[in-house]
Amino acid sequence: MDSPGFPSSPVPNFDIASVTGPMLLGHLFNFGLLGCLAIQVYVYMLSFPDDKILVKSFVYIVFFLDLLQTGFATHYAWWVLAGGWGDELALLTTPWTLDTLAPLTALVAFLVQLFYLWRIWVISNGQKWFIPILVIIGSTATASCIAAWYAGIALPNAGTGPLAQVDLPNADTGPLAQVNSKRSLKTLNLAPAVTTWLTGSVACDIIITITLVMLLAIRRKGALAATKRITHRAIRMAIETGAVTSVAVTVELALILNASTTSWYLMLGLLITKIYSNSLLASLNSRSPIFDGGSTAFWQPSNGRSNSTNVFSTAPPRQATADVELEDTSIGAFEAKPGTLTGSRFEGEPV
């Protein structure tokens, strides 16, 4: 089926749908992932009411930023696909709401990476030889965030929209003539900033994933079967969430630096905040008993005592009901402490 395209398009033989189509899909998927995130936040609120106020506030801040990003993205969708329908200038100009995309995306990624940085510190029990790794993660995440904010500030001054990133035929005259001088990220001198932003984000995700897997694998050695099962699940979660964010950002970098015929880069760019936020909530909610094999034991600090408290919780742990005795098997920030288990989790114990 032929796309209706824009009426009286000033660019003959150019498929406008190749620009507006990916944008439309991006907005639709953005709303879908927001729904997934809302459900995860709801599950978190029900499952872990005793988490520390700092952790709960962190979750709510990330959720608020995603709501804000969705609102700004919706305004841009209206700008192009409703209010600006049939007007090519709507694709050449950038509303202020679109200019917030890069800064908000980088901010959410930065917060999530800081959360995992803190998690590594707790799991490692503050061992000094992990400090250089944490410094590298923190520095890279900070540089990535700053580069994204620079790109977000510089983009409005360029006066270009999605169509200005595309190679347009027969655009030597008329309102599209400005594309000849303002067409690519390289021309706008934004390529270094965008590359620093996305490359730094990928590097952080990879380092975080490798470090978490290494720490948990070390703690798994010599542990009991129940503890090994819990550790295996934590390792799998770290790999899955790290892989999803790393692949998404890598693909986005490739698309945005080669945006010559379509706006697929914008579709994925709209989704990155939700990908990071959903990965964070998935990690937190993996402790919930509604997930098969979920265990809250992985969020215990290792202090060598059986009465250690949960690093997230303000409530005292509750004793399980089944009589399966465990030895004191520490796995860093996640500890299978002496007590009893129901299945593979500590019954009713929050993080």
Q: Could you give the domains of the chain?
A: 17-295 (1.20.1070)
Q: Among 148, 179, 172, 149, which Cα is nearest to 259's?
A: 179
Longest dimension (CA), the chain: 81
pLDDT of residue 219: 73
Q: What are 66's two structure tokens?
A: 């995603």
Helix, strand, coil percentages in the chain from 3-state DSSP, rounded to 5: 65, 5, 35
**132-175 per-position pLDDT tens digit:** 999 999 999 999 999 999 887 776 554 445 544 444 444 444 44
Lowest-pLDDT range of 164-168, 236-240, 277-281, 321-325: 321-325
Q: What are 245's two structure tokens?
A: 């964010």
Q: How many Cβ atoms sit within 10 Å of the Cβ of residue 201?
A: 32
Counting residues of the chain whose pLDDT is more than 70, the rounded percentage is 61
In whole angstroms, give the CA distance from residue 204 to residue 134.
10
Task: Assign 28 a pLDDT band (cuts: 50, 70, 90).
Answer: very high
Entry pTM: 0.74
Instruction: From residue 50, give the alpha-carbon distance in Å to each of 44, 291, 303, 310.
Output: 11, 19, 21, 10
β-partners of residue 334 are: 331
Residue 16 has pLDDT above 50, yes or no: yes
pLDDT of residue 294: 41
Burial class (CB in 10 A: 0-12, 13-18, 19+), 263: buried
pLDDT of residue 87: 61
Residue 55 has pLDDT above 70, yes or no: yes
pLDDT of residue 8: 47
β-partners of residue 345 are: 342
CA 130, 135, 138, 141 torsion-angle sign: negative
User: What angle (nearest 5°) sits at the alpha carbon of residue 134, between those of residues 254 and 197?
Assistant: 25
Residue 44 has pLDDT above 80, yes or no: yes
Q: Among 271, 284, 286, which Cα is nearest to 60's?
A: 284
In whole angstroms, give the CA distance from residue 165 to residue 158.
12
- 316 within 8 A of 309, measured Cβ to Cβ: yes
Average pLDDT, the chain: 73
Q: Among 99, 88, 269, which Cα is nearest to 179's?
A: 88
pLDDT of residue 225: 67
Where do we find the tokens 């950002």?
Answer: 249
Task: Strands of the chain (E only): list them.
Answer: 329-331, 334-336
Instruction: From residue 54, give the alpha-carbon distance in Å to each of 81, 115, 185, 235, 311.
Output: 40, 11, 39, 25, 11
